[in-house]
Amino acid sequence: MNLNIVLFNPEIPHNTGAIGRVCVCLGARLHLVQPLGFSLSDRHLRRAGLDYWKDVDLILHRSWDHFLETEHPRHMSFVSAKSRTSYFEHRFHPGEYIVFGPEADGLPQGFHSRYPDAFVTIPMPGPHARSLNLATAAAIVAYEAYRQIRQKG
């Protein structure tokens, strides 16, 4: 599978651990863009990742610029509750980088300005819904990307 999950400044270790587990199950690479709100040796991170954590294909980037310089991503999608385009309407590509922001605030406004056409959202028709847990959102979108990419190949 040629899929990448990118967590920009993740704050909660057990979310990152659970996303790492999803990456192992999909054969996807996990990119963490610093600063992180926890240590990679955090017990909550490892507990959420269970015995999968040792198998996570993980790359740590010191900044967003470092990520761009190192990876040269061709296809990027940014997931945000502030987007109006459903991930159902979006076409994911082999080699896709799916980017998620920090749990508390999401991706900075600068990302919305720089990549305005690359944002997608997960529909939440519930009247009181604001956002999903980061690990849940990452799993939902990653598996849709997997489904689409698999159909193309």
Architecture of domain 3-152: 3-Layer(aba) Sandwich (3.40)
pTM: 0.93
Q: What are the beta bridge partners of residue 29?
A: 4, 57
- For residue 67, the model assigns a pLDDT of 98
pLDDT digits (tens, 9 = 90+) for 45-67: 666 555 677 899 999 999 999 99
Beta strand extents in the chain (DSSP E only): 3-8, 29-33, 57-61, 76-79, 96-100, 119-120
Contacts of 32 by beta carbon, 8 Å cutoff, 6+ apart: 7, 10, 16, 58, 59, 60, 61
Q: Which of 82, 134, 133, 130 is nearest to 108 (CA)?
A: 82
Distance, CA of 78 to chain centre: 8
pLDDT digits (tens, 9 = 90+) for 21-38: 999 999 999 999 999 998
Q: What are the beta bridge partners of residue 123?
A: none
pLDDT digits (tens, 9 = 90+) for 3-21: 999 999 999 988 999 999 9
Q: Which of 119, 111, 108 is nearest to 77 (CA)?
A: 119
Q: Is 134 helix (H, G, I), strand (E, B) or coil?
A: helix
What's the CA gap between 70 and 92, in Å, rounded? Answer: 21
Could you give the C-alpha distances from 100 to 78, 125, 151, in angstroms and in order? 6, 21, 24
